[in-house]
């Protein structure tokens, strides 16, 4: 329409705008819209990831949390609350310092107590009940140690020691009763395997009886009622073994605690969840010590010398060929380890 036509129709000339017309932009509304869009996209991606995890057979997705494939952690107990008792015996103590290193400053009694206290803490962290024959630098006779262990009604007994010998001797060995009870062997084997996994200089295997004399037993393996073992945790006379202990003492304690839990499950003391399966303390099948009579008996009630590998029957009782049960036990209890070793 021309200006003349506009003026003729509306009775006035058309209005003319000067300059460009400015458009107002609402930036706050744009920002809000972008934020909402980002949130929407994020939610959609998470929803898709969840659906893939639910219906895709558990296949991994970049939006799903990573799975821990650590073999060691997967084989260890995933919870606490194991209902069984372990008695820990830190070898030697007080006036009995045990073996010592070549400087004479490092003492077995100190090493055994340090390891034992860490083992106690590891077991208690798993909910295991722990009894200690000593928690300080004190001396106990072997009779007192065995009585403490038996009075604690423990299911397992672990005596910690350090070995001694020529500087070239090294490694870890564990001793059990020479009657070779399966439960005691299982405990010792589990502990040795666990320590070996952490790292030891040499696996000297499980031994039966008394070092240098397979017809005798360590008293703690002879007069304790439960499955027991005596752990020689490396040679205190070997610098490499001492270095390994200093660097891995916490790992060794952790490994032994895991081995104790494993043993309790395998012996049927607890189930996989730590629930106790038996009413009474677990007894080893080794000859059982009767403190009142000073003799030993089996499940069948046969009384004989604790260390007799081939006992003979005298007056309806089993004894060694030359001595009575009481005499034989007194002789063995007084026996001293061969030179260069500790008991």
Residue 68, pLDDT score: 35
Q: How far apart are the first and last CA of the chain?
A: 121
Q: How far apart are CA 229 and CA 222, in angstroms?
A: 10
Cα–Cα distance for residue pair 18/47, rounded to 1 Å = 55
Distance CA 269, CA 84 (A): 7
Tell me the torsion sign for CA atoms 207, 122, 71, 201. negative
Task: Name the CA radius of gyration of the chain, rounded.
Answer: 37
* Domains (range + CATH), the chain: 24-66 (no CATH), 75-266 (3.40.630.40)
What was the pLDDT predicted at 303? 67
Which tens digits make up the pLDDT trace of 144-166?
A: 999 999 999 999 999 999 999 99
Across the range 72-98, mean pLDDT stands at: 82
- Spatial distance between the Cα atoms of 338 and 165, rounded to a whole number of angstroms: 10
Q: What is the pLDDT of residues 181-214, one digit of tens each?
A: 999 999 999 999 999 999 999 999 999 999 988 8
Take residue 338 and report the two structure tokens written for it: 């061969």
Residue carrying the six token digits 């009579």: 293
For residue 49, give every residue at least 6 positions away whose Cβ sits within 8 Å of its Cβ, in sequence order, or none: 61, 62, 63, 64
pLDDT of residue 238: 98
- Stretch 133-148: mean pLDDT: 97
Calculate mean pLDDT across residues 262-266.
98
Mean pLDDT of 338-342: 36
Q: For a pLDDT cut of 70, what percent of the chain falls above it?
A: 71
8 Å CB contact between 101 and 242? yes
Catalytic one of 232, 247, 266, 275: 232
> Would you call 122 a catalytic residue per the annotation?
no
> Tens digits of per-residue pLDDT, 279-332?
999 999 999 988 887 778 766 666 666 776 654 444 454 443 333 333 333 333
Q: Residue 127's closest CA among 175, 178, 84?
A: 84
Longest dimension (CA), the chain: 149
Task: Indicate the average pLDDT of the chain.
Answer: 81
Q: Is 339 exposed, middle or buried (0-12, 13-18, 19+ CB in 10 A)?
A: exposed
């Amino acid at each position: 329409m021309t200006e003349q036509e506009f003026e003729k129709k509306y009775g006035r000339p058309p209005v003319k705008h000067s300059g460009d017309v400015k458009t107002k932009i609402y930036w706050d509304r744009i920002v809000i819209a972008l934020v909402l869009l980002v949130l929407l996209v994020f939610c959609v991606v998470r929803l898709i990831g969840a659906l893939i995890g639910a219906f895709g057979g558990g296949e991994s997705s970049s939006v799903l949390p990573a799975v821990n494939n650590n073999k060691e952690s997967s084989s260890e107990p995933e919870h606490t609350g194991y209902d069984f008792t372990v008695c820990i015996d830190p070898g030697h103590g007080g006036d009995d310092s045990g073996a010592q290193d070549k400087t004479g400053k490092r003492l077995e009694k100190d090493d055994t107590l340090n390891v034992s206290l860490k083992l106690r803490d590891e077991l208690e962290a798993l909910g295991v009940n722990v009894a200690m024959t000593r928690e300080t630098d004190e001396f106990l006779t072997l009779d007192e140690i065995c009585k403490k262990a038996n009075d604690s009604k423990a299911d397992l007994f672990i005596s910690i020691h350090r070995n001694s010998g020529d500087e070239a001797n090294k490694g870890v060995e564990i001793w059990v009763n020479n009657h070779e009870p399966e439960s005691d062997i299982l405990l010792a084997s589990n502990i040795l395997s666990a320590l070996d996994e952490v790292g030891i200089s040499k696996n000297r295997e499980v031994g039966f009886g008394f070092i240098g004399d397979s017809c005798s037993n360590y008293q703690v393996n002879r007069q304790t009622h439960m499955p027991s073992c005596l752990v020689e945790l490396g040679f205190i006379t070997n610098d490499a073994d001492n270095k390994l202990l200093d660097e891995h003492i916490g790992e060794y304690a952790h490994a032994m605690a895991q081995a104790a839990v494993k043993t309790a499950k395998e012996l049927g003391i607890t189930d996989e969840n730590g629930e106790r399966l038996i009413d009474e303390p677990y007894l080893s099948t080794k000859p059982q010590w009767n403190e009142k009579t000073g003799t030993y008996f089996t499940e069948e009630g046969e009384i004989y010398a604790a260390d007799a590998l081939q006992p003979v029957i005298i007056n309806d009782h089993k004894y060694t060929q030359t001595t009575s049960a009481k005499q034989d036990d007194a002789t063995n209890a007084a026996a001293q380890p061969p030179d260069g070793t500790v008991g």
